[in-house]
Structure 1
Amino acid sequence: MRLAPISPADLRNDQKPLFDAMTEGVAAKYSDFITSRDDGALLGPWNAWLHDPELGTAFWGATQAMTKAKRIPDDARQVAILVTGAHFGAAYEIYAHGRVAQARHAMSDRTLSALVAGQRPDDLNDDQAAAHDLAAALLRGGVLPAPIYDQAIRRFGQAGTNELIYLVGHYCFVSMTLNGFAIPVPE
């Protein structure tokens, strides 16, 4: 880990508002995985963003907007996030969203293992399959092929397809944050 977690007692004045916002938001959404140390210091991408509160506030705002959108089913969102995390080998992302997928959507170990290995599981429902295919195609680079885009439009409509494309891009950024700062899975 390249950026030490910041305990609440050690926050600078410019970090406190972001810390409070992220702590509240993370606690409200994520209880399926470890997001902080015992002393309250944030882990994951949130710690990195806290080290640079000016940019971190913008990143947190984008994260909040992605969280509020909810135009596609959450199980499909989790598949797209896991495909993205696996593509970049972002350990904390795989850990966190794997736990969410299993706890909230009963994703099997077999399905999770296939996603993490970069494979397309054969037991995905239609929404999950569309999310998987779109994420995998975007991560290969180039223009999203028309059949995959059209499939997403049929499943999620224009607004949902937009969200899915933005979600993959957002989690590419989260993956870069996690990998760039060598953020590990909590012990």
Structure 2
Amino acid sequence: MNPNRSATAIPAFPEAGLSERLGPPDTLDADQQAAADELINGPRRGVYGPFRPLLHRPPLLQAVAKVGETLRYAGTLDDALREWTICVVAREVSNVFEWDMHLPLAEAAGVPAIALAAIERGTALPGDMRGDLALARTIAAELISQHRLKDETYADALRTWGEAGTVELLTLVGYFVMVCWLMNVARTPGPA
């Protein structure tokens, strides 16, 4: 895979390379500084991605950060499934930040490079794809395009992850769609 993935991804990321239009405030008030400090001192170790525009609303930043931390650091989905799903969402909604941030994490978690390349190009998954990863792609695509799941897809999810795991996966998709949309509008740059 190309180290500068967002520059060569097909289809292209529309906001890649554009100037950020909703970055963090120029100066931080006490609440904004406290929210920034929580991020810096927490597992993220910095203020980046969706938290740049969210600094304008510290209570939202803190709530969104907590949901993300729960999904990423206290979730029950295995690392490969979680990182794969984040990559799928990033491509489905054309978000350069989450794609560039989570692609190496997906690779490190053992997601096959050929599957990630298929997502990057928008092509069919390899035939020997792990069943739960293929199902997660179907779920993300159905949710984003149809705003619901087909009965068969829902039944497959319950068989694969049970109710609790299905709720976690649905929440993971929804969370990352939300932060991707925010960053797409804000034109948040990819990670440095």
1:106–1:132: structure 2 CA closer, same or farther, 3 Å change rule? closer
TM-score of the pair, normalised by structure 1: 0.81
Question: Which residue identity is paired with 1:2?
Answer: R
Partner residue, 1:83: 88
1:111–1:65: structure 2 CA closer, same or farther, 3 Å change rule? same
1:78 is paired with a residue whose SS is helix
Task: Tell me the CA shift for residue 57 of structure 1.
Answer: 1.7
Contact 1:48/1:181, CA 8 A, preserved across alignment: yes
Task: Tell me the CA shift for residue 143 of structure 1.
Answer: 2.9
Partner residue, 1:11: 28
Larger mean Cα displacement after TM superposition, 145-154 or 67-76: 67-76
Which protein is richer in helix relative to its size?
A: 1
Partner residue, 1:119: 123
Question: Which residue identity is paired with 1:25?
Answer: P
Say if 2:168 is the partner of 1:163. yes
Counterparts of 2:76 and 2:132, CA distance in 1: 12
Say if 2:17 is the partner of 1:2. no
Partner residue, 2:15: none
1:51 is paired with a residue whose SS is coil
Taking only the aligned residue pairs, the percentage that are identical comes to: 29
Counterparts of 2:56 and 2:134, CA distance in 1: 37
Task: Tell me the CA shift for residue 80 of structure 1.
Answer: 1.6
Q: Taking CA–CA contacts closer than 8 Å with sequence separation of 6 or more, which of the two structures ends up with the larger relative contact order?
A: 2
TM-score of the pair, normalised by structure 2: 0.79
Contact 1:69/1:163, CA 8 A, preserved across alignment: no
1:11 is paired with a residue whose SS is coil
Partner residue, 1:26: 44
1:151-182 Cα deviation digits (max 9, x unpaired): 11111111000111111111110111110100
Unaligned runs of 5+ in 1: 28-35, 37-41
1:44 is paired with a residue whose SS is coil
1:96–1:186: structure 2 CA closer, same or farther, 3 Å change rule? closer
Task: Tell me the CA shift for residue 61 of structure 1.
Answer: 2.2
Larger mean Cα displacement after TM superposition, 92-101 or 42-51: 42-51
Task: Tell me the CA shift for residue 136 of structure 1.
Answer: 1.6
Unaligned runs of 5+ in 2: 1-19
Counterparts of 1:91 and 1:146, CA distance in 2: 32
Note the 1:65-104 alignment, pairs <5 A: 65-104=70-109
Pairwise CA RMSD of aligned residues?
2.1
Counterparts of 2:31 and 2:129, CA distance in 1: 44
Counterparts of 1:184 and 1:120, CA distance in 2: 28
